[in-house]
Chains A and B, each alone.
Chain A
Amino acid sequence: AQTVTQSQPEMSVQEAETVTLSCTYDTSESDYYLFWYKQPPSRQMILVIRQEAYKQQNATENRFSVNFQKAAKSFSLKISDSQLGDAAMYFCAYRSAGSGNTGKLIFGQGTTLQVKP
């Protein structure tokens, strides 16, 4: 079975600074997807970034980028130029790419990010 681990329950960053959230996962599959989701106090799940395992290039979305290390099974999220609106709970998630998977996600424990003005 696949597992996702986020070892940082809480993180704090100064506004305009950079912060990195850690995520490791365990799987025996070779093809899969990894995601970072943001959950603000509204509880709406917002997709931040997505990485296909077969792609070596790290995904980037504006101020958000990942460091995907497939061999190490590590998938960290870097937030640059942190903004107050980035404060939220962040979840790392895994999804098998197998044809039988139609959207089932396995989530890490979450990291609460605080942004200080």
Chain B
Amino acid sequence: GAVVSQHPSWVICKSGTSVKIECRSLDFQATTMFWYRQFPKQSLMLMATSNEGSKATYEQGVEKDKFLINHASLTLSTLTVTSAHPEDSSFYICSASMMNTIYFGEGSWLTVV
């Protein structure tokens, strides 16, 4: 079964609204999780490192006020896309490490209309 789970798998939202994506580690605690963004036929680009109990570390060029990351527990990190616009439409995927093995969530498709 899945070791890292993402929800929702698909989400459509209206332009200007906010949408939250969850990333859960199942049966293990993850003090650090990672959020990636992937455009069609392109690579995974690291957006930020989610740190449990502290602020996320964002990669250069990623707007931290637009992509809010919260890691309030050892098994849950959330990515909130605020004031979403059509250009935010993408595939978002998270990962977490357990016993030196990296596990990916199933990913979340976001479409902003």
Contacts and interface: CB of A to CB of B under 8 A. Distances in A.
A91 interface: yes
B41 to A, nearest CB: 7
B43 A103 contact: no
A10 to B, nearest CB: 10
Given A109-B43, A110-B42, A103 B107 contact: no
Nearest to A50: B101
Interface string A78-114: 0000000000010100010000001111111110100
Interface string B34-50: 10001001111110010
Interface in A30-54: 43-45, 47
Main secondary structure of the interface of A (DSSP, over half): loop
Interface of A: 43-45, 47, 89, 91, 95, 102-110, 112
Classify chain B: how many residues form its interface, as a range: 20 to 34
A88 to B, nearest CB: 12
A84 B20 CA distance: 36
A85 to B, nearest CB: 19
B97 interface: yes
Nearest to B45: A107
A59 to B, nearest CB: 14
A64 to B, nearest CB: 17
